[in-house]
Structure 1
Amino acid sequence: MFTDKGEASLGVVICNYAGKIIAALSKKIPQPPSITCLELLAARRAAIFVHELGLHESILEGDSETVIKSLQKGDMFQFAYGHLFKDTMFYVNSLRSYCFSHTYRKGNSIADTSAKKARFSSDLTVWMEHVPPDIKSFVLADMPFP
């Protein structure tokens, strides 16, 4: 998400196998040159976050079909941002198992909302095992029914 201050923001949400949030973050960054670059930076930050949490398996989900397809294929040549692609794959390849999954923006509302939250907070905010009250309604909407 771009702001009018020459900044952008990222939102990353880590869920367990049952869909329960175990960690989330929002982060301000300098505005990248394109939306594709922003989406790749978000994928990279998600891969780093998974690594920081000590997780060994992950499904990395994103709403940029271009970025997700390139990561699935291992095709960095579609990007002018090959260094970001390589860095993302470095962290992902350290996992025992992983896959990439495309979701539509509507299915990515928690990450989108946490990215919006970064516009009004410090450079990096991390939540562990809970989310702020203003994001809770999106969490409940995304939870699968038993």
Structure 2
Amino acid sequence: MVEALAARRAVMFVAELCVFRVIIEGDCSRVIAALKGFGRCRTLFGHIIDESKRIGGTLRSCLFQHVRHEGNRLAHCLAKKAVLSADTNVWVEYLPEDVEDVFHSDLP
């Protein structure tokens, strides 16, 4: 359920930023499969999936892609940083210095 909520928040966030082409990556194959599926989602978290797909449908291009846990190191690093912070931080044009090494190690 947490992964579905995170995907919905990601789609809402890019819509708020007026980003019209986006790829949402996640390491939970069940959630990504549900987001890529056709029709209504019949899982316990189906209403969240359906809302995410509806919001994604308002964008020019919204793709959902599964990545292995190892390929998602930067997201996990940023999530840990967010949990430890009392503030809501958004990094749009730069990364915090303490996660730049993780970013560069994820590049092909």
Asked whether the two chains share a fold, i.e. TM above 0.5, the reply is: yes
Higher RCO (CA-CA < 8 Å; seq separation 6+) = 1
Q: What TM-score do you get using the length of structure 2 for normalisation?
A: 0.90
Q: Matches of 1:47 and 1:86 in 2, distance apart? A: 12
**Which residue is equivalent to 1:44?**
8
For structure 2, list consecutive stretches of 5 or more residues without a partner in the other structure.
none
Identity %: 38
Shift of 1:82: 2.2
Moved over 3 A (4+): none
Task: Specify whether residues 82 and 123 from structure 1 end up closer, same or farther in structure 2 by C-alpha distance, changes over 3 A only.
Answer: farther
Question: TM-score, normalising length from structure 1?
Answer: 0.68
Residue number in structure 2 paired with 1:127: 91
The structure whose residues are more often strand, as a share, is 1
- Structure with bigger helix share is 2
One-letter amino acid of the structure 2 residue matched with residue 65 of structure 1: S
Distance across 2 between alignment mates of 1:127 and 1:59: 17
Partner of 1:20: none
Q: Counterpart in 2 of 1:76?
A: 41
Quote the Cα distance in structure 1 between the aligned partners of 2:92 and 2:21: 18
What is the distance in 1 between the residues matched to 2:76 and 2:83?
12
Give the Å deviation of 1:93: 0.6
Residue 20 (structure 2) pairs with residue 64 (structure 1) = no
